[in-house]
Amino acid sequence: MRSQDRLTYSLVFLLIFSIFSGIYSPEIHSELEENNDIKIESISKNNNLIDIPAWKINDRWNYNGYLDMVDFIVDSGVNTNLQTLTGTLQSTVTEIYITTVDNSSSLVYKVESEGYYEANNINLDGQPGDLEVNMDTVSIIRASDLATVSQEASIDINFCRDFLWFCIDVSVGTLEVDQSYSPPLEGYDFPLSVGESWNQDYTVTTTYDGSSDYVDIPEDTVSQRTANYEIVSQGFSGVSYASCATSYNISSTNADGDETGYKWFCPAVRGDVKMETIESLGFTAVHSLSSYQATSRQKVVSIDVEFPLSPIDMEIAAWVNVTNSNGNPLANEQLQFRYEIEGNIQTITTASNGSAYVTFNTGSSPDYSNSGDDLGSHGILAWINTPNPHTGASTVTIDPNVYEIDLYVNQDGVSVERTRENLTLTLDENVGFNAIRDDSITFSIPVINRGLRFSPPTILEIEGPDGTTTNANIPALSSLEEARVEVSWTVPSNQPFGETVTSFDININDGDSTNNEGEFILFIGSIPVALLSMAEEILTLDELTINGINSYDPDGGNFYCTFSLESLEGNIITSEEEDCIYEYTWDDDGIFNVYMVVTDGENDFDAVNSVITVLNRNPEIILEAESETIPVLSPITFEITDRIDLDTQTPNAPVDIVWNAPCEQGTTLGIKCTVTLDQEGPYTIQVDATDDDGATITEEYTIDVTNIAPYNPEWEVTFENNRMIPNSFGLYTVNEGDQLTIRGWAQDSENDMSTLRHVWSPDAEEKPELEIIQENIAVSQIEVIYETDGQHIATFQVFDNDDESTDLMTVPFRVNNVEPTIRPFSQPLPVAEDQKIEMSIIADDTLNDLQSLTPCYDLDPLVNSDNQGSEIDDCDIESFDLSYSWPDSNTAPENIIFHVTDNDGAVASAEINIDIRNVKPNVGITTSEWNPTSGDLVTFSGNGTMDSINDMENMIYSWDMDVSRDSDGDGDKTNDNDILGKIVEWEFNNAGSIIVQLTVDDGDATNSIRLTIQVEEKPFSITSFILSPLGILIIAILILTIAGIPAIMKKRKRTEHDEFKVPSKGSIDDAFDDPEYDPFSEDKKKQKISKKRIKEDQNKPEIKEDEIDKDLVLDINIEQKSDFDIENIDLEDKNLAVNEVLSASEIEELIGEEE
């Protein structure tokens, strides 16, 4: 018994805790759209913005409320008749003080509430009694915007269990819940205006304490949430409270878009006139204001702001006014002015007119309620800090895009009235924005000036659903002032069914033209047509079927039927039937009225009525069955509930009964007969009734023996022959590419088991068109591979041969992405500069991801070349194959990175070691002459040298022009740097075999090569001889001798001359080239160059600089030489010294002859 009690009270505790935990959760609602018009009825203007109220200590709100538990109970499985908990809630302002909220000094209200709820005469799992809930809460409300800073609640739940004539109190549990919000939860966004919406992200911290013998106290939580709000309408809230005829409906939704409730804010009571909270657990809490008790305000503080809508960072003024309760100004009142968002707190004093002037900067701080229309709306406070404080409040809205004039049509604030047959109804989201043909529609279209200054009069152009255009004159509007244009439209009798659009446009060139137009959508439908079908007359105790299924809605919508009929006692019986079929039985004869009302989805309706004549019978029995339908193979009992012989003289005489069926009771004479039916379809049982007069009637009763739908569907998932276990939510976790086997089965009647049809949708959301149907089997099996990361759902349903089925079952999977992998690979071998490293890398992934892999080589892991991510994730080469070289071993990286990314962003990477080695240069050398003559200018070239491109650009060429001489005196003959350069020219003055060495240096390595130059002595030539020191000496002696100068015998002196003139008609070379030429001959003919010689010189082809002068070649077979041979041929030295041509005796003889 104790365990049963524990279960019952645990359910109660959780039920109540779930209810009141919703009080501390944000509530949100969804949006509406509205629209339509043609004929202008009126134009009015007013300031429609509802600003923040100011509360005072002992302000009190009293509410009546209830908690609707129907859906919660159905889903919880608790066996109870509990429908609602009813009760009261009282909220009182108990304190006004300054505290710190999110590191900011804030003026706050402390509001204490007491709630009591009860449900009497309920039954919980067989235990009767009364349920009571007491709840005390303390809320901290920020005064500048009525945002909730924190809430504390104490909940006490008791069940008074009935026992005999009294009850026993059982404490189900006590719970303390503390919740704080950061930033504070802004359920309002003052000033309020219809059509305004906002959202807020916030953190809620919840702590729990308490005790219970039946459930565990929850753990503390910290959660991130999102709240969405919208002011969807203004008007009557449904609560008949004086001065609250016009209230503002603030609806709310959560982050998933689920409705979480609404509240109707009534400015006259400075708070909510009605509140509803919808919890996802399946219950609804509703509270309606029963009374508002405002504390007497001996001093009234008000704030007038120069610019209620202001640009950011603007100096504006405000007037803080203090009056008494009669409206007379109060002077010398000291107040504190608080613009808390910017930390602007000032002490001010009212002047003789009861007003204090203050200036402040609006700042540029946003608020935490993102409306999208402005940067923020911030509260302005003024309060008199006394033991009984007085407060005043206002709001300034800052907007960086505010203009001097900005008219806009608030299409979300359009209100609609519909008149049909002299009945006028205000449309809202509950009624639906719809009409029918010939309805009269009145639209109230708001035009608001969101500018700083008066707007000029202008025109609102309105285009109705029929395309006609109407212009409305909009008067001049002050900042945030609203004009409403009421236009009417009578829906044409031939208007097509469907949505109609009414558009409107303000004809003005204001600061923001993007909000000058809007539209409203109204659905035009039709009244449904009610068609009633039933018998005109029946016998008493016969069941009458009232049928409205032939009714229809011309606009194609759904509808339902409400039946009302007279009972024998004259009462009206009412029943609402979605299938439009109702059955009823009269026990006596008579004529009865039957009414049927058909209502469609737009709440339009049509009514029809008829009459039924119920005839008397004689004799008569009433035959009934347990059910009008029975599943095949199930027993059903037929029963004669009444036996009447109306014409008998002995009313108590029995009527004999005989069943025409094999009754399982063992006799056919009883008033009951139970049969088990083994055939599907209609089944009719017959019973004979014989009265005391021997008259026999046969009564029949027909039921429908129905097919048994498949039931109890089950499935299992296996992977690699291992059965997978889902988590507590039934979710299977698998990887991409896993080959899963899903088996499914269900139960049914034996004759249907072999005909079952299994329908699978392996990926119902991603591939809804893919279905797998397996027929005539008891157990089905499919193979599934999920190729993409994320949530996937398989659905499973079993049908029998009558197309009856199980519920659609869902098998959820969480498919995890499989990260790519890189196969092992060999590291590349060392390479030389400019030598390509070639390699290919193979990556593996699931089959689907494999096609979309992105391979990349990051060629320099130390540099973030794309300025994204890190240094090692660059994609310098997008390929699996690498063919790349580095020009410089010094700058080449030690390693590179290969990484591959799949379509889900998963990355695999590998490091590749790089060894780029410098190779010493390969020296190449050429010369213009291999056998120059002493004194010739010889060109040497290192053009044949080869190395990497980078090294070639920085190569140093050093020439040692004779390795047998130490020209730099360092003791090493082979390291002289006689000349630097890639191509150099050099003149050899000494004959002989000379070894020339070229050394090249690429910065890291050097290499040398040598070649041998055979320098020949210069042959004798008159010109050379004359220009030689000896020739000059001889000529000088001749001149001195001829001149008879005494000094001819003086010691000779060797001098060098740069040049020597030869006769103008020839050169000294001509003496060798022309054997007849002798410039020193006494024969004048020999002193001249022959004409034949001159002509040969003129016709001689020009020799290019880079070609070898064949006149200098000693080898007569030059034409047969290869290029390599030409580079090494011996050339004639044109600069031979005299002693290289003449012997010493010949020189002496020559000198002697001259002397």
* 10-residue mean pLDDT series, the chain (1155 residues): 46 47 36 45 64 95 84 58 85 96 94 92 79 91 95 88 79 86 93 87 92 79 92 83 88 87 93 84 80 93 91 93 94 95 95 95 89 86 93 92 85 82 75 84 86 88 85 86 85 88 87 85 89 89 90 89 86 88 84 92 88 80 88 88 68 76 82 85 88 76 87 92 92 92 89 89 91 92 91 93 90 91 91 88 86 90 80 85 88 90 89 88 89 89 85 86 85 85 88 90 86 85 62 73 56 40 45 55 59 56 44 44 45 44 52 45
Q: Do the Cβ atoms of 574 and 566 come closer than 8 Å? A: no
Q: Do the Cβ atoms of 598 and 551 come closer than 8 Å? A: yes
**Which CATH number is correct for 537-615, 2.60.120.620, 2.60.40.10, 3.40.50.300, 3.40.1800.10?**
2.60.40.10
How far apart are alpha carbons 158 and 1019 in whole angstroms? 138
How far apart are alpha carbons 384 and 96 in whole angstroms? 11
* Burial of 100: CB neighbours in 10 Å, binned 0-12, 13-18, 19+: exposed
Q: Which residue has the tokens 């347990």?
A: 626
Strand partners, 194: none
Q: Which two tokens stand for residue 901?
A: 């990314």
Q: What is the second-level CATH architecture of the domain 821-917?
A: Sandwich (2.60)
Q: If you compute the radius of gyration of the chain from its CA atoms, what whole number of angstroms results?
A: 56
| CATH class of the region 2-31+53-293 | mainly beta
Q: Do the Cβ atoms of 389 and 57 come closer than 8 Å? A: yes
Q: Where are the domains positioned within the chain? A: 2-31+53-293, 299-398, 407-525, 537-615, 620-692, 711-816, 821-917, 919-1061+1101-1155
- Report the first-to-last Cα separation within the chain, whole angstroms: 161
| CATH class of the region 919-1061+1101-1155 | mainly beta
The reply to whether 537-615 shares the fold of 299-398 is: yes
How far apart are alpha carbons 336 and 340 in whole angstroms? 11
How far apart are alpha carbons 157 and 435 in whole angstroms? 48
Q: What is the second-level CATH architecture of the domain 299-398?
A: Sandwich (2.60)
Q: What are phi and psi of 309, to 5 degrees?
A: -115, 120
- The alpha carbon of 228 is separated from its chain's Cα centroid by a whole number of angstroms, namely 18
- Please report the pLDDT score of residue 282 as a whole number: 56
- Please report the pLDDT score of residue 351 as a whole number: 95
- 3-state percent breakdown (helix, strand, coil) of the chain, nearest 5: 10, 45, 45
Q: Do the Cβ atoms of 1036 and 1153 come closer than 8 Å? A: no
Measure Cα distances from 807 to 766, 776, 824 in Å: 21, 19, 51
- Please report the pLDDT score of residue 1062 as a whole number: 38
Q: Which fold has domain 711-816?
A: Immunoglobulin-like (2.60.40)
Classify each residue of 868-903 as buried b or exposed e, where b means 16 or more C-beta atoms within 10 Å of its C-beta: eeeebbbbebeebebeebbbbbeebbebbbbbbbbe
Q: Do the Cβ atoms of 833 and 951 come closer than 8 Å? A: yes
- Please report the pLDDT score of residue 1105 as a whole number: 42
Q: Which two tokens stand for residue 677?
A: 């039916």
Q: Which fold has domain 407-525?
A: Immunoglobulin-like (2.60.40)
Q: Residue 93's closest CA among 28, 40, 146, 131?
A: 146
Looking at residue 529, the DSSP 8-state letter turns out to be B
How far apart are alpha carbons 48 and 196 in whole angstroms? 12
Report the 10 Å Cβ neighbour count for 680. 18
- Please report the pLDDT score of residue 597 as a whole number: 94
Q: Which two tokens stand for residue 473?
A: 């004159």
Q: Which two tokens stand for residue 252?
A: 């709310």
SS3 of 260-293: the string is EEEEEEEHHHCEEEEEEEECCCCCEEEEEEEEEE
